[in-house]
Structure 1
Amino acid sequence: MIDNPLQMVGLYIAINLLLNLALAYRVSATRLKTNVMTGTGDHEPLYKSTRAHIVNSEYTPIGLIGLIGLFILSASIWIIHAAGIALTMGRVLHAIGLYISADSTRPRLWGTLLTWLGQLITGVGCLYFSLTYTI
């Protein structure tokens, strides 16, 4: 059973790594289907899949670094959960939103907001715990 902060961080890292791999696979599969190996051409499905992967690759590492920081600074498991769930659900919703349409969608908006919330939790949490940490 997962019941300590290190296991929680590991769980969120694993889920987000697998999500990134799934998004990368989707880009590769769409490239093979459209025969476009560089760029996106005029293919909306390729554009949407590359955008989902690119944005995930931009935001996820920062969020995961924040989770690791919270663990190192001995943050509560609930703070790690809150940040991890927000980041992970945000990334999933954002990818779903881009899958639906290249335009703005509700899942994409909520995905962005949840991702930012996860980063806000890790940023404020790391700042707080680094200023109050005692050995």
Structure 2
Amino acid sequence: MMTEALMHALQAAALWSGLLILMLLVLSGMVVSGRRRHMVSFGDGGHSDLLAASRAFGNCVEYATPGMAAMALLALVSGQAWMVHAVGATLLAGRILHALGLMLQTGPSIGRVLGMALTWIALLSAGVGLIAYGVL
């Protein structure tokens, strides 16, 4: 039988994973829209806005996927719901800031820097938490 604490942690993982998946769909839609606008069937066709949209989507996939897996594992190893919420909120905020920094500015931007910092903090926290639960 599932404990109430486990259920709350799994619900937290589901919430943040669902929001990250919706973000991936939005970013994917922006890539598709850019390809249609520029009549490009593959790649970016040399269009900087399409390259930025493609990288925002790709970068989000690269970081959100392990983050979602980590949240699910944290919940399953009896991590507290607040831990899963902290990782999920930090990861989502980081991914949003990073995507906006990529698509709204060229070159280095505060959105990209803060977005990556938050993403790394979320993944580091999840990783340390998983290691702690794994050895204790």
TM-score above 0.5: yes
SS of equivalent to 1:4: helix
Alignment of 1:26-37 (within 5 A): 26-37=30-41
Any conservation in 1 of the 2:91–2:122 contact (CA below 8 Å)? yes
Alignment of 1:29-68 (within 5 A): 29-68=33-72
Matches of 2:30 and 2:22, distance apart in 1: 12
Moved over 3 A (4+): none
Residue correspondences, number: 130
Q: Could you tell me how far 1:131 is from its partner in structure 2?
A: 1.1
Any conservation in 2 of the 1:48–1:101 contact (CA below 8 Å)? no
Aligned residues: percent identity? 32
Partner of 1:116: 120
Matches of 1:62 and 1:4, distance apart in 2: 20
Root-mean-square deviation over aligned CA pairs: 1.1
Q: Does 1:93 align with 2:105?
A: no
Any conservation in 2 of the 1:98–1:108 contact (CA below 8 Å)? yes
Partner of 2:11: 7
Any conservation in 1 of the 2:94–2:119 contact (CA below 8 Å)? yes
Residue type of the alignment partner of 1:19: M
SS of equivalent to 1:61: helix
Partner of 1:83: 87
Matches of 1:6 and 1:74, distance apart in 2: 10
Matches of 1:10 and 1:17, distance apart in 2: 10
Matches of 1:21 and 1:114, distance apart in 2: 21
Task: Give the TM-score, by structure 1 length.
Answer: 0.92
Residue type of the alignment partner of 1:28: V
Matches of 1:105 and 1:60, distance apart in 2: 20
